Amino acid sequence: MKDIKAKLTEKIKASFDTVSEKDYNGNRLDFHVDVKIIPQILTFLKVNLGYIHLSHISCVDWLEEGEFEIIYILWSPVEKLKVFVRTRINREKPVLPNIDMIWRQANTYEREMREMFGIEIEGLEGAEEFLLEDWQEMPPMRRDFQTEEYAEKTFWSREGREDAIDVREEIIKRSREEIPDFAKKYSR
Amino acid sequence: MREKATTLYFGPQHPGITGNMMIRLKVEGDTIIKATTEVGYLHRAFEKLQEKRNWLQSFTMMCRFCVPETDPMEELYARAVEEIEGREVPERAKYIRVMVLELARLASFMLWYGGQNGSLGLYTMGQWSVGDRNYILDLFEELTGGRIYHMYIWPGGVRRDLPKGFEGRVLKTLDYLEKRLDDYDDLMFDNAIFKKRTQGVGIVDKATAVEHGVVGAVLRGCGIKSDIRIDDPYEVYDKLDFIVPTSDGADIWSRALVRRQEARQSIRIIRQVIDTMPGGSVYNKIPNPQKWKLPKGDAYVRAESVRGEVGLYVVSDGGTMPRRVHLRGAAYVHGITLLEDVLVGENIADVSAIMNSLGTCPPEIER
Amino acid sequence: MINDKNSQKIVDIIQNWARKHSIWVLAYGTGCGAIEIPPTMTSRYDAERLGVRGAATPRQADVLLVTGYLTTKTLKRVIRVYEQMQDPKFVIGFGSCTINGGMYYDSYNTIKLLDKYLPVDVYINGCMPRPEAVLAGFGKLQEIIAEGRANGAQKYKDNLEWYKANQKKIIPSLLTTDYNW
């Protein structure tokens, strides 16, 4: 596994300059890259190095640092290695290159990312609305969207939920009263 | 003469659809020329809610991601948390986890038998297999207290040890189910109508499979041998002996053949697990859940469910709550782009069968 | 001759008795509760012996089974489906999340109280309710139908404006026509 990782790092570094890697235990290897070379590095990994399976695309909102982190997770069935390609983009004006010509299923991930985080994907096809309908607020998966506040404001709550009075004592007291005499000896 | 194209809305309220989703079909006569999926009817924002729960509270949400097979999600979450934290799992717990996972697979196969045949009008199979599935759910109920939502496999092990004599009851159920699987074969694979309606329908060939990132039985149905349990082994799957069936037809029929084999392999795995299960404790105690903090880090773990590879990406920022929990279901790939491409050129009557065969599970797509 | 008050009563009793034994449930799995419907309908629990069976289209169905949480997107379709159903019609709320939101109480996309939007006749609680609980729910529905208390549809007609206002509050683009019965 060590050789495979070293070889892969060497090949990547030979073709791209601004790449830094981080090694993990087991079959995982991370590459931190610049957002501009995302399509190139993913194509390179898929076509030249055999990382044919795009396992996941995820986005993490680092609100405190003002950045979104995008993680592409690839898998090679031959080398049995998970490769993470990570990039960070500005949170204020997030733009991401489209990769659905490399993997068709990336389209779904990107549509979701566009709707849930408000990230603009260059040249992405497909309807604007993916999971939500008539959504007026900010993209809901951003950290600063307060879901509980929104739910309180929009939907009614069942009465009796707000007060946190402990009623267990009362219930036990009442239920004790109704216990018939013969059953008294079994009660707590 | 060319017929006029019409738009047909398939779902969300439709008896043939596998859950709450909608497909907009453009049809010419009986043939589909374009399909557009519309999802989001089940989007209950789990991933947002999990950011507001602590590590143990968000564990209870995991099993609700996809109802036909709930245990892989729990196991994924447990494994991701263990990977971030570096927590050890007792050997016995790993064996119990594999047993529960395989029982869940078996239960999900039973549901698939009913759904696949129900979509073609063979309702007897539904009565048989969904009825027999209850025997597995009974075992789950005894073990975990719940029929559907188990919340059993948690970070650090499993929630409690097997009840006394449980293994015997599992073996007894397996003996019964093995006999029943033969009955299903007689009903399903010897059936001329089933054969005629499934062979050559819903083709996913190798090129499409690679282009779409197809996983699981759909990938094995087109002749590619791939199984997370062997390629990227987790728990104790590397110590167990089982085969990964493949088939070359690339249609509904060959996917059915693959699943038929896999159900039997699940039974074989459970028997092996029970034979070789070691003793010992079943969980490492976790700290007070209110104050339980995980170190900074992230993990991506994968497991094999009936529908294919399920992955979970968990990020911790060093706090008491997850920063991000992101599930990648098999249906996320199969249910949208692949389905749209496969449906083109098929008949309206086959839509339901194709959806069942691809394992379209809307709650997993929408989360 | 039916104008006579007593005769009307007898007709009602017979009608309710008949209705009670043919509860056709609309096949619409709106949430995760749909997973316990196949076991309820098949060999072990066999709800069909009570006259409960599936119906493919809203026009033929008597009962709308709201199986679990309702997202705002689904709620719009559920309202549409409910209004397409013919009288007599009943609604069963299935699972804790229809009662008070359940574990989705702070979700931005799911409603918390079903009875603000649709008239619910019977609630079945639990997450997830067992098939026995579902059967008990159907039993309860039969009971109140027989007693003539299952008047959800009438309630909906009488308070249509209130229901519509509630629905429009969370679904701005509610496209259903304004019915006048």
Q: B200 lies in which domain range?
A: 5-366
So what's the pLDDT on residue A178? 60
So what's the pLDDT on residue C107? 86
Give the Cα separation of A156 and A12 in Å (integer). 55
Nearest to B112 by CA among B356, B340, B355: B356
Does the structure show a pLDDT above 80 at A182?
no
Give the Cα separation of B141 and B150 in Å (integer). 8
- A147/C172 CB distance under 8 A: no
Q: What is the DSSP string of chain A?
A: -HHHHHHHHHHHHHH-SS-EEEE-SSSEEEEE--GGGHHHHHHHHHHTT---EEEEEEEEEETTTTEEEEEEEEEETTTTEEEEEEEEEESSS-EE---TTT-TTHHHHHHHHHHHH--EETT--S-S-SS-SS--SS-TTSTT--HHHHHHHHS---TTSS-----HHHHHHHHHHTS-GGGGGG--
Of C69, C74, C128, the CB nearest to B149: C128
Mean pLDDT of C45-66: 87
Note whether residue A137 is domain-resident.
no
Kindly report the CATH number assigned to the domain that includes residue A112: 3.30.460.80
Residue A187 — pLDDT band, cuts 50, 70, 90?
very low
- C170/A151 CB distance under 8 A: no
Q: A10 lies in which domain range?
A: 2-132
B335 contacts B360 by C-beta, under 8 angstroms:
yes
Q: Would you state the structure tokens that stand for residue B291, as one six-digit string?
A: 């104050």
So what's the pLDDT on residue B1? 56
Q: Would you state the structure tokens that stand for residue A38, as one six-digit string?
A: 């995302």
Q: C134 lies in which domain range?
A: 5-170
So what's the pLDDT on residue C38? 86
- A56/B328 CB distance under 8 A: yes
- C108/A147 CB distance under 8 A: yes
C119 contacts C155 by C-beta, under 8 angstroms:
yes
B195 sits in which H/E element = helix B192-198
Note whether residue A105 is domain-resident.
yes
Kindly report the CATH number assigned to the domain that includes residue B159: 1.10.645.10
Structural domain count of chain A: 1
Residue B176 — pLDDT band, cuts 50, 70, 90?
very high
Instruction: List B residues 53-92 in contact with C (Cβ-Cβ < 8 A).
Output: 60-61, 64, 67-68
Note whether residue C43 is domain-resident.
yes
Q: How far is CA C37 from CA B130, B234, B354, C45, C145, in A?
A: 10, 33, 22, 10, 22
Note whether residue C14 is domain-resident.
yes
Mean pLDDT of B292-320: 88
Instruction: List A residues 134-173 in contact with C (Cβ-Cβ < 8 A).
Output: 134, 137, 140, 145, 147-148, 150-151, 154-158, 161
Structural domain count of chain B: 1
- A140/B48 CB distance under 8 A: yes
The chain B residue lying nearest A78, using CA atoms, is: B231
ipTM score of complex: 0.87
Note whether residue A50 is domain-resident.
yes
Residue A11 backbone phi and psi in degrees, to 5: -65, -45
Of B20, B44, B111, the CB nearest to C104: B44
Kindly report the CATH number assigned to the domain that includes residue C55: 3.40.50.12280
- Does any CB of chain A come closer than 8 Å to the CB of residue C125? no
Q: Which residues from chain C sit within 8 angstroms of residue A134, using beta carbons?
A: 72, 171-173
Q: pLDDT for B212-243, tens place per residue? A: 888 888 888 888 888 888 888 888 888 888 88
Q: pLDDT for A83-117, tens place per residue? A: 888 898 888 888 888 888 888 888 888 888 888 88
Does the structure show a pLDDT above 70 at C177?
no
Note whether residue A84 is domain-resident.
yes
Structural domain count of chain C: 1
Of B20, B45, B149, the CB nearest to C127: B149
Residue B366 — pLDDT band, cuts 50, 70, 90?
confident
Q: Alpha-carbon torsion B233, B235, B238, B242, what sign? A: negative
